[in-house]
Structure 1
Amino acid sequence: MEVEEQIIRELHQVPRQHYREILDFIREKKKKAGKLISDTALASESSLKKDWLRPEEDEAWADL
């Protein structure tokens, strides 16, 4: 059984008054995942900018 199916099955067994808490939990997990991606992108920017900020790169992308 896939995890998604297990989650849905479990959700159907939870009292409805807990749905808001579950929704908040899911949204918080999504927010943390998005922040992790943003942090990784920011961390890699400094190491990659030495290749990005070159005249050759500007020329290569000039026609786009």
Structure 2
Amino acid sequence: FLDEVLDFVHFLKTKIIKERLDIAIASESSLKKDWLKPEEDEAWQGL
């Protein structure tokens, strides 16, 4: 019984990590559109 509980906990932890990674990857492609604009390059030049 304990093995099943531990397997389930491992499954949940893995699922959360995968979901967070999927969100990060999806966000990057969306945000990349703004990052690649010339206006962004100008805004960050002085830093």
User: Could you say which residue in structure 2 is the equivalent of 1:55?
Assistant: 41
Aligned-residue RMSD, C-alpha: 1.9
Runs of 4 or more off by more than 6 Å in structure 1?
none
The structure that has the greater radius of gyration is 1
Q: How many residues align?
A: 44
Please say if 1:19 is aligned against 2:5: no
Structure 2: runs of 5 or more not aligned = none
Structure 1: runs of 5 or more not aligned = 1-17
Percent of aligned pairs sharing the same letter: 48
TM, length-normalised to structure 1: 0.55
Matching of residues 36-47 of structure 1 within 5 Å: 36-47=19-30
TM, length-normalised to structure 2: 0.70
**Which structure ranks higher in relative contact order (CA pairs < 8 Å, sequence separation ≥ 6)?**
2
